[in-house]
Amino acid sequence: MSAPIPPAATAAIISGPTEDGPIAAGRPMKTKPADAHNGPFFDDLSVGDRFDTAPTIRLSDGMAAAHHAIVGGRLRLAFDTSLAKAVAGAAAPLAAPAFVWDISIGQSTSVTQRAIANLFYRGLVFRRAPVIGDSLTTVTTILGLKPLSPKPDRPPRGLVTMRIATVDQEGRPVLDYCRCAMLPARSQDPRPAAGETDLPGAEFTQAQLLEAVSGWRMEPLRRAVPVSSHDGFDAGSTYELAGGDVVSSAPELARLTMNLATVHHDRTTAAGGRRLVYGGHTIGLAAAQLTRIFPGLVTILAWRDCDHLGPVHEGDTVHSSVTIERCDVLSGGARLAHLRSRVRATDLSDKVSDVLDWRLVGLFA
């Protein structure tokens, strides 16, 4: 991708196996205050700080089933072992992309335990497609710090941008992306912005997009997917489902993915006294809706960007509108579809608000 971070930074984050495990230890964190176990404040952080202590997580059948019960989804390769073997040579079903990125994001929340909100993601790309039974380990590196202008009616706060790199049990890269969160600050004293803070949407080469699916055979999928799913697939077309999805089991998903952000667990820490739904929950429901709109979707390869436009709460119902922005035909007939999913939430009082703007790339057989 035309990453906001130079390639050398990737090499510093992702490494091969070492005596200490699949990811090399980062530079030591500076001494933290006594309450560091509750997560850092904005002004405790410096550009280059690395967090690599989140537990390694094995992608099990049980976790995949629990995740699916909360967000749904109908990607065939995540359920059909025979098809996964025929297409990808896998000995087990593929882990659903939403399951993988939710675990990775959860492992990055050592930085954002005190988060007020998550603002955006940039440049998420799958380097490999994990299967059930693989294990994921994640390193989070601070890229940028941007204090927000003080206001008399709110505590001090700032924006933190992070680079997140996830590898499997053999040290092979799985995910690479950036995200931005808002954290409270200890002091009103201004500090200058530092590092990379305003990250543009990513552009990917075809080789980057196809790295995770190199060697996959599309013919078995073409036989499995209804012929009608290949019709009317035109750039500029917009699709909406007749119904939405209720947001349920929000704290359960946060626990499943080891997401530490207290605003997803404790309503007393959230603005307005209502727990915020973990952003991955909203994205996961939007991804599940994609699989219903497009039964021929093979997998999600990458996100150019994803912006959280507003809060989501448990009990809301989310609807998505999906536009095909561009479609590239590959040799052999498979297609890369550049999609934009706009998601709105309807709360229990029937108030409708825009909550997500997500641009992604999907693979079709």
* pLDDT of amino acid 271: 67
Could you tell me what percent of the chain has a pLDDT over 90? 73
Could you tell me what percent of the chain has a pLDDT over 70? 88
* pLDDT of amino acid 175: 98
* pLDDT of amino acid 189: 76
Res 323 pLDDT > 90: yes
* pLDDT of amino acid 308: 97
* pLDDT of amino acid 232: 58
C-alpha R_g of the chain: 20
What CA–CA distance (Å, rounded) separates 41 from 184?
Answer: 6
* Average pLDDT of the residues in 311-331: 95
pTM exceeds 0.85, yes or no: yes
* Average pLDDT of the residues in 214-220: 94
* Average pLDDT of the residues in 265-269: 84
pLDDT per residue over 131-166, tens digit each? 999 999 999 999 999 999 888 888 899 999 999 999
Res 269 pLDDT > 80: no
* pLDDT of amino acid 167: 98
- CATH assignment of 7-190+202-364, given 3.10.129.10, 3.40.50.1110, 3.30.9.10, 3.40.50.800? 3.10.129.10
Higher pLDDT, 222 or 167: 167
What CA–CA distance (Å, rounded) separates 290 from 326?
Answer: 16
pLDDT band at 198 (very low <50, low <70, confident <90, very high): confident
The phi, psi pair for 30, rounded to 5°, reads -65, 160
* Average pLDDT of the residues in 262-277: 84
Nearest Cα neighbor of 253 from 121, 106, 38, 96 is 106
* pLDDT of amino acid 231: 52
* pLDDT of amino acid 1: 42
- Encode 275-295: b = buried (16+ Cβ within 10 Å), e = exposed: bbbbbbbbbbbbbbbbbbbbe
pLDDT per residue over 78-102, tens digit each? 999 999 999 999 989 999 999 999 9
* pLDDT of amino acid 313: 95
Average pLDDT, the chain: 88
* pLDDT of amino acid 272: 73
* pLDDT of amino acid 332: 85
Nearest Cα neighbor of 200 from 5, 363, 8, 353 is 5
pLDDT per residue over 96-135, tens digit each? 999 999 999 999 999 999 999 999 999 999 999 999 999 9
* pLDDT of amino acid 20: 36
pLDDT band at 185 (very low <50, low <70, confident <90, very high): very high
Res 343 pLDDT > 70: yes
